[in-house]
């Protein structure tokens, strides 16, 4: 299966990180596609939670927002938002947080707030939303982000959510309960923290991608693990399932809605 895009490959690689017995707090966008692909392929019993309070949701099409009606209709239960953050996330009942961001640094800290100074930003981004506490409390975090020097930066403009802070155990010393970013899935390959320094290093590449390509796409001097794995291309089932999901989603989101006159 070679005729797939890097975005599709990235989504498939991210989906493979999830297990059938995971309880996963899903961010919108790329993470949502990856989490639902996992559910529709190798992890049918995965519990997906969206911050709108929908628990165990099984949408047939990807939601545009984190609160589409589809998420509520297909959920095991729907709980108030303060409950999802207090009784589930803060209480340590979430295994995996799956996040995106605008910027990431070498220790997996994320920015989704501003480009430029906070008081007078050149670009005001949406902000931390649920991510600030998902990043603290989920037992492990996966991050999905297309690799460019603008997004993988030497220095964040703003720290919206914590990765490993300054590395070398700083996260644990700060008293953060969750384990931090386990992997960063990009459209070139995958980064994972070094066991001691906690600096993200290249651990896997897609077939056809090179270490040089990865280095060019990362805005800091990228460390490379002793062993680089090759990420297996999508299987026919993975790719067919993803494409069908995306096609259903496109169709659903373009469908005219009856104006409730």
Q: Which residues are known to be catalytic?
A: 51
Residue whose tokens read 């923290």: 193
Among 23, 172, 192, 252, interactor with another protein by CB under 8 A: 252
Q: Report the residue from 126, 149, 169, 208 that binds another protein according to the rule CB under 8 A.
A: 126
Q: Is 29 in the site for another protein (CB under 8 A)?
A: yes
From candidates 1, 23, 172, 176, binder to another protein by CB under 8 A: 176
The verdict on 151 binding another protein (CB under 8 A) reads no
**Which residues inside 61-80 make contact with another protein, applying CB under 8 A?**
63-69, 71-73, 78, 80
Residues whose CB falls within 8 Å of the CB of residue 97, separated by 6 or more in sequence, listed in order: 24, 25, 27, 131, 134, 135, 137, 138, 140, 141, 142, 178
**172 touches another protein by CB under 8 A:** no
CB of 74 to another protein, least distance (A): 12
Q: Distance between CA 165 and CA 180 in Å, rounded?
A: 10
Taking the least distance from each CB to another protein, the nearer of 44 and 92 is 92
| 121 binds another protein per the rule CB under 8 A | yes
Residue closer to another protein, measured from CB, 136 or 218: 136
Of the residues 17, 41, 109, 241, which one makes contact with another protein according to CB under 8 A: 109
Window of 4-12, 45-53, 140-148, 204-212 that interacts with another protein by CB under 8 A: 45-53
Under 8 Å between Cβ of 203 and 195: no
Shortest spacing between CB 84 and another protein, in angstroms? 9
**Residue 258 interacts with another protein (CB under 8 A): yes or no:** yes
Residues 195-224 that bind another protein (CB under 8 A): none
Q: Does 177 bind another protein (CB under 8 A)?
A: yes
81 binds another protein (CB under 8 A): yes
The residues of the shown chain that bind another protein, judged by CB under 8 A, are 28-29, 51-54, 63-69, 71-73, 78, 80-82, 85-86, 89-90, 109, 113, 118-133, 135-137, 158-162, 165, 171, 174-177, 252-261
């Amino acid at each position: 299966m070679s005729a797939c895009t890097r975005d599709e490959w990235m989504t498939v690689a991210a989906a493979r990180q999830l297990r059938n017995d995971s309880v996963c707090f899903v961010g919108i966008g790329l993470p949502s596609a990856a989490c639902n692909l996992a559910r529709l392929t190798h992890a049918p019993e995965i519990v997906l939670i969206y911050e709108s309070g929908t628990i165990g949701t099984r949408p047939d099409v990807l939601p545009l927002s984190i609160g589409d009606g589809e998420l509520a209709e297909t959920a095991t239960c729907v709980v108030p938002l303060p409950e999802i953050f207090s009784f589930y996330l803060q209480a340590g009942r979430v295994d995996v947080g799956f996040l995106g961001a605008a910027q990431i640094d070498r220790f997996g800290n994320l920015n989704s707030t501003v480009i430029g100074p906070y008081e007078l930003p050149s670009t005001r981004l949406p902000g931390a939303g649920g991510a600030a506490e998902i990043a603290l409390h989920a037992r492990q975090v996966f991050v999905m982000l297309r690799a460019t020097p603008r997004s993988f930066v030497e220095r964040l403009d703003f720290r919206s959510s914590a990765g490993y802070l300054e590395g070398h155990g700083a996260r644990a010393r700060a008293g953060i309960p969750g384990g931090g970013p386990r992997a960063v899935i990009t459209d070139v390959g995958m980064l994972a923290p070094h066991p001691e320094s906690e600096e993200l290093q290249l651990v896997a590449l897609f077939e056809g991608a090179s270490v040089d390509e990865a280095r060019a796409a990362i805005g800091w001097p990228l460390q490379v693990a002793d062993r680089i794995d090759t990420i297996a291309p999508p299987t026919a089932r993975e790719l067919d399932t993803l494409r069908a999901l995306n096609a259903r989603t496109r169709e659903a989101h373009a469908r005219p809605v009856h104006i409730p006159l």
